[in-house]
Structure 1
Amino acid sequence: MSRTVFCRKYQEELEGLERAPYPGPIGENIYETISKKAWQDWLSHQTMLINEKHLNMMDASSREYLKQEMQKFFAGEDYDKAEGYVPPVEKE
């Protein structure tokens, strides 16, 4: 049986992550309070931010920006979105 967590993002019991996605206290907090669904949603949003804002992941300020946006995303605060971004349409 998979473990469940009370997801901070979606405010309900959902399937939890299999392991901490980050090292240290941030990773442990995510592991304990963020669902697998919320983490996958964040990864999609993070990829969009990296691509649309042309972030360089070798740059410490870009990594710090993403960490701050991740915290806002999971807390339900107003987080950054790429202006004019239109998600791809899924083919049926």
Structure 2
Amino acid sequence: MTEANTTDERDPRLEQRIAQFENMTTADPKNEMAHFSLGNAYLQAGRAAEAAKCFEKVVELNADMSKAYQLAGEAMLDAGLEDRAVMVLEAGWKVAATRGDLLVRDGIGEKLESIGRTPPALSEEENATADELAASGSFICRRTGRTGTQLEGPPFKGPIGVWIQENISFQTWNDWIGQGTKVINELRLDFSREEDQESYDQHMREFLGIDDELREKLLEG
């Protein structure tokens, strides 16, 4: 079980991000991206139970966001809530499989198997939905699970930019631009300072669902 950081171990910058995202979710309770980012920040702080609640809120707001199911289930396991975690992970596996989100589907499947559970089977209707979506050729945003428009090119150079172009919709990227502006203004970031640029980049990765494992994999090529 993940233990919360003690007061002496708290990262001031992480606490600042948590406070910022808490303010965002309070100001706009229907902002699924803010709840998602807050959940990620809670996870980094070792606050698994609180993270799980955030990701459950995301699922409530957007039942197609398979990544939120995965993170909610994993956080519940860390918090010792296995029965609830299994229910959420199984539901997320079906959403991911139906919408063609293979990375999340496989990740959830591995997590279920690690606790002695088997991923659920899709119903005929769910299989038909998956086949129909695959045949349509629609672009599915891996961040939101919704259909959208693919970016015409990477938003910036490097492997992370390429991944964003291949996996994040134009609509979600535009949402980040708006959110990123709030980050700049609220944190008073100065891009001439390296630490401020990294803070902005970290907020972007959290918003788009690029966790540390995926980031390292992309940078390794």
Q: Secondary structure at the match of 1:16?
A: coil
1:30 matched to 2:167? The reply is: no
TM superposition outliers: structure 1 runs of 4+ over 6 Å: none
Q: Secondary structure at the match of 2:174?
A: helix
1:42 matched to 2:176? The reply is: yes
Which structure is higher in RCO with an 8 Å CA cutoff and minimum separation 6?
A: 1
Contact 1:4 1:16 in 2 (8 A): no
- Identify, as 1 or 2, the structure richer in strand: 1
- TM-score, scaled relative to structure 2: 0.32
Gap regions ≥5 residues in structure 1: 78-92
Q: Secondary structure at the match of 2:190?
A: coil
CA distance in 2, matches of 1:61, 1:28: 23
RMSD: 2.0
CA distance in 2, matches of 1:47, 1:35: 19
- TM-score, scaled relative to structure 1: 0.73
**CA-CA distance at 1:76 after TM superposition:** 8.5
**Matched AA of 1:72:** E
Q: Secondary structure at the match of 1:70?
A: helix
Q: Secondary structure at the match of 1:26?
A: helix
Number of residue equivalences: 75
**CA-CA distance at 1:4 after TM superposition:** 5.3
Partner of 2:204: 70
Equivalent residue in structure 2 for 1:11, among 145, 155, 173: 145
**Matched AA of 1:59:** R
Q: Deviations over 1:33-67 (max 9, x none)?
A: 00001000000111111011111011111111111
Residues 26 and 4 (structure 1), Cα distance of their counterparts in 2 relative to 1, 3 Å cut: farther
Larger radius of gyration: 2
- Identify, as 1 or 2, the structure richer in helix: 2
Gap regions ≥5 residues in structure 2: 1-136, 212-221
**CA-CA distance at 1:5 after TM superposition:** 2.9
Q: Secondary structure at the match of 2:144?
A: coil
Partner of 1:90: none
